[in-house]
Amino acid sequence: MAENLLSVGCKQQYSSQTKLVALLVREYLRSLHPLLNEGELDNELAVATGISVRSLQRFKREAKDNCVSSPPSKRQKTSPVLNSIDKFDEE
């Protein structure tokens, strides 16, 4: 129960490679099942890839807008307070 509460609202970041693979799997499923509507296809794709339906819809929208990209990499920021403390000792 606690695990479910902690995972609510956590947004997982997917790389551009993962997004493109999911879109290719979508095309493959479309070729296998041409009679499925969009909702059924999204549900099948979510089961096949393990990615939520909402994320898959976002990938599809990003591909339509030609902006499938990876999230920016995290950079370690230096604290300005620590730098000023170090300079204080030098004076």
Q: Which of 19-23, 54-58, 72-76, 79-83 has the lowest mean pLDDT?
A: 79-83
Classify residue 4: in a domain, yes or no: no
Give the whole-angstrom CA distance, residue 37 versus residue 85.
Answer: 62
Residue type, 31: S
Higher pLDDT, 8 or 37: 37
Classify residue 80: in a domain, yes or no: no
Per-residue pLDDT reduced to its tens digit, 26-70: 999 999 999 989 899 999 999 999 999 999 999 988 888 887 766
Sign of CA dihedral 27, 36, 39, 65: positive
Q: Give the domain range for residue 21.
A: 14-70
Classify residue 58: in a domain, yes or no: yes
DSSP 72: P
Classify residue 37: in a domain, yes or no: yes
**Residue 16 parent element (H or E):** helix 16-32
Locate 28 and state its tokens. 């493959």
Give the whole-angstrom CA distance, residue 79 versus residue 67.
Answer: 33
- Could you give the number of structural domains in the chain? 1
| Residue 63 CA, distance from chain mean position | 13
Classify residue 21: in a domain, yes or no: yes
Classify residue 64: in a domain, yes or no: yes
Classify residue 83: in a domain, yes or no: no
